[in-house]
Amino acid sequence: MKNITVDSHPFADQKPGTSGLRKKVKQFQQPHYLENFIQSVFNAIRGNDSFAEKALVVGGDGRFYNREAIQIIMKMALVNGFGKLIIGQNGLLSTPAASAVIRKYQAFGGIILSASHNPGGPDADFGIKFNTANGGPANEELTEAIFQHSLSIDRYQMVEAEDIDLSQIGSQQFDKLSVDIIDPVVDYADLMEQLFDFQRIRELLTSANFRMHFDAMNAITGPYAMTILEQKLGAPAGTVLRAEPLPDFGGDHPDPNLAHAQDLHKRLSGDHAADFGAASDGDGDRNMILGANFYVTPSDSLAVLAANATLVPGYKDGLAGVARSMPTSQAVDRVARQLNLPCFETPTGWKFFGNLLDAGKITLCGEESFGTGSNHVREKDGLWAVLFWLNILAVRGESVEDILKQHWDKFGRDYYTRHDYEAVTNDGAELLMTALREKTQTLAGLQLGSYQVESADDFAYTDPVDESISQHQGIRILMRGGSRIIYRLSGTGTEGATLRVYIESHETDINKQSEDPQNALSELIDLASQIAKINHYTGRNKPDVMT
């Protein structure tokens, strides 16, 4: 084994986005590209703690290039002074499981290889992110430091050596580096068993009048769902669909929404619909929840979990507080108000929940983008959300639809939709946002159709724990009565820009709570495109995706 220092040159585009560095596989495969970023991570964290004494956790969602990247990271970790790596067998770890493993083994942190719900394969996407010792994504200060290192890097260090076998569980020595290959599922499954009433869920899943399906989308949650749902909880064989993680996710888009989980959707539709359906994404942190002929918005899901949390053993003593990202609907705020809980509004991205969770200010949190989680880890957690729902269904003995309708009766319904304009030009998107930002100053008080603007701004967030400030987190137009229109640009795309428009309004009249959200929100939807001149700046007449 030989230590080598490789001369390199900086790449200008290694700025981590909403969730780590995400690029095309081809870009990552260029000479030095991956290595530069890893070396920048190591340079940025050096000196914070001792590399040699604590472990670094490494794993990913199994997408194309996952294994190659792990071998490179290992060869660099050795020369950079790490003493121990904990790697998921075959390089696999779901994002929430990686977070759980970092916490359980009190690791220094972890490197997660994933581009989440983005497609995989040689022509698709890859990604890397660094998580810190709390199990959560690096904060903005650290991601900025990594970026700065990447801009001036001129060399990196690694060893020249044979690859190691990632398929055998157990400890092995890679020169001075000890490498523990662990079962990727066991620790996570144990944690779920501590939080949820497995006995009751088992009774539900084995009863003749309850049918569920979980769509693992050929991605990482397959092995987790097989172990937990089918083996431990006794769900019938075949409950888990698309259970085998594939490097290209079977050519599909591993994003849990109605468009990409069509078979699941079919099984939850019509006269013979199953009772409960769920799906997770590429790396296992997202979730979609369905009832028979019924779709639960992620914003509503968070509110329902908060309202029913004390039915679940892990949360039986109640919640310290809740948080949602700014564009997520205000449904959970209403629950918090009723339960007298603090409720925080953070910028988009899970990293903003980390401090609140660490400080014990919140127990549950979520995003409209199919993300829900709690203080059990520092990532959103897809299967956790599914088990939470199953626990509630087992205790209440009611259908998903009944639970939602009762919830709306009590709190009102927050009609909600998100419209995405994908792969628009960067220039057009930037001009649109700049124009909107200027417009916010003149909107307050205006009557627009049947809505009056109460205020408009560019959302800025001051972290209540460390007082760090994050600016330009999205344009908000807040109407009297609580309706909102929000605009922001995606920070996770790999092609052009994606404009996201989030629209919501609150309906307290129980007779008006069963409309299609696109109808219920149609006036606001029109206003949203007029105000931002979406067609003018993007050339688009309609969104590519509506959720």
Query: Which of ligand G1P, Zn ion, none lies near 277, with the C-beta cut-off 5 to 8 A by kind?
Result: none
116 is known as an active-site residue: yes
Q: What span, in angstroms and rounded, lies between the C-alpha atoms of 521 and 534?
A: 17
Contacts of range 519-527, beta carbons closer than 8 Å, 24 or more positions apart:
520/415, 521/415, 521/416, 521/417, 523/449, 523/450, 523/451, 524/451, 524/483, 524/485, 525/417, 525/419, 526/449, 527/448, 527/449, 527/451, 527/485
Residue 268 and residue 260 in contact, taking contact as beta carbons nearer than 8 Å? no
Q: What span, in angstroms and rounded, lies between the C-alpha atoms of 162 and 78?
A: 13
Residue 371 and residue 285 in contact, taking contact as beta carbons nearer than 8 Å? yes
C-alpha angle 108/112/117, rounded to 5°? 150
252 DSSP 8-state letter:
S
- What residue is closest to Zn ion based on CB? 116
Q: What span, in angstroms and rounded, lies between the C-alpha atoms of 63 and 185?
A: 17
Nearer to ligand G1P, 291 or 327 (CB): 327
Query: Which of ligand G1P, Zn ion, none lies near 283, with the C-beta cut-off 5 to 8 A by kind?
Result: Zn ion
SS3 percent helix, strand, coil of the chain, rounded to 5, is 35, 25, 35
Establish if 349 lies at the interface with ligand G1P (CB under 6 A): yes
Residue type, 394: A
Q: Pairing mode, if any, of strands 287-291 and 343-346?
A: unpaired
CB of 46 to ligand G1P, least distance (A): 27
Query: Which of Zn ion, ligand G1P, none lies near 367, with the C-beta cut-off 5 to 8 A by kind?
Result: ligand G1P
Query: Which of Zn ion, ligand G1P, none lies near 197, with the C-beta cut-off 5 to 8 A by kind?
Result: none
Establish if 348 lies at the interface with ligand G1P (CB under 6 A): yes
CB of 370 to ligand G1P, least distance (A): 8
Helix axes 95-104, 186-195, angle to 10 degrees: 90
- In the range 465-494, which residues lie near ligand G1P by CB under 6 A? 490-492
Among 65, 188, 198, 350, which residue interacts with ligand G1P (rule: CB under 6 A)?
Answer: 350
Nearer to ligand G1P, 59 or 371 (CB): 371
Query: Which of Zn ion, ligand G1P, none lies near 43, with the C-beta cut-off 5 to 8 A by kind?
Result: none
Largest CA distance in the chain: 73
Contacts of range 69-72, beta carbons closer than 8 Å, 24 or more positions apart:
69/28, 69/34, 69/113, 69/126, 69/128, 70/113, 70/166, 71/163, 71/164, 72/34, 72/35, 72/38, 72/158
232 DSSP 8-state letter:
I
Query: Which of ligand G1P, Zn ion, none lies near 281, with the C-beta cut-off 5 to 8 A by kind?
Result: Zn ion
CB of 19 to ligand G1P, least distance (A): 4
Structure tokens at 377: 């880890």
Among 36, 89, 114, 116, which residue interacts with ligand G1P (rule: CB under 6 A)?
Answer: 116
Nearer to Zn ion, 18 or 505 (CB): 18
String of contacts with ligand G1P for each residue 493-512, x by CB under 6 A: -------x------------
Nearer to ligand G1P, 181 or 362 (CB): 362
Q: What span, in angstroms and rounded, lies between the C-alpha atoms of 222 and 242?
A: 7
- In the range 314-343, which residues lie near ligand G1P by CB under 6 A? 325
Nearer to ligand G1P, 33 or 350 (CB): 350
Strands (E) across 435-489 are located at 447-448, 451-458, 461-462, 469-470, 475-479, 484-489
Nearer to Zn ion, 370 or 537 (CB): 370
Q: What span, in angstroms and rounded, lies between the C-alpha atoms of 405 and 388?
A: 18
Among the listed ranges 179-187, 298-306, 348-356, 521-529, the one in contact with ligand G1P (CB under 6 A) is 348-356
Residue 27: which residues within 8 A CB-CB, separation 6 or more? 33
Query: Which of Zn ion, ligand G1P, none lies near 19, with the C-beta cut-off 5 to 8 A by kind?
Result: ligand G1P
Query: Which of ligand G1P, Zn ion, none lies near 287, with the C-beta cut-off 5 to 8 A by kind?
Result: none
Establish if 369 lies at the interface with ligand G1P (CB under 6 A): yes
- Collapse the DSSP code of 279 into the 3-class scheme (helix H, G, I; strand E, B; otherwise coil) and give the result: strand
- What residue is closest to ligand G1P based on CB? 490
Establish if 283 lies at the interface with Zn ion (CB under 5 A): yes
CB of 351 to ligand G1P, least distance (A): 8
Strands (E) across 292-354 are located at 294-296, 322-325, 343-346
Query: Which of ligand G1P, Zn ion, none lies near 18, with the C-beta cut-off 5 to 8 A by kind?
Result: ligand G1P
- Collapse the DSSP code of 296 into the 3-class scheme (helix H, G, I; strand E, B; otherwise coil) and give the result: strand
Residue 487 and residue 433 in contact, taking contact as beta carbons nearer than 8 Å? yes
Among the listed ranges 84-92, 103-111, 141-149, 344-352, the one in contact with ligand G1P (CB under 6 A) is 344-352
- In the range 103-122, which residues lie near Zn ion by CB under 5 A? 116
String of contacts with ligand G1P for each residue 11-30, x by CB under 6 A: -------xx-----------
Of the listed 116, 299, 301, 374, which one is catalytic? 116
Annotated active-site positions, please?
116
Which residues form the interface with Zn ion (CB under 5 A)? 116, 281, 283, 285-286
Which residues form the interface with ligand G1P (CB under 6 A)? 18-19, 116, 325, 348-350, 367, 369, 371, 490-492, 500
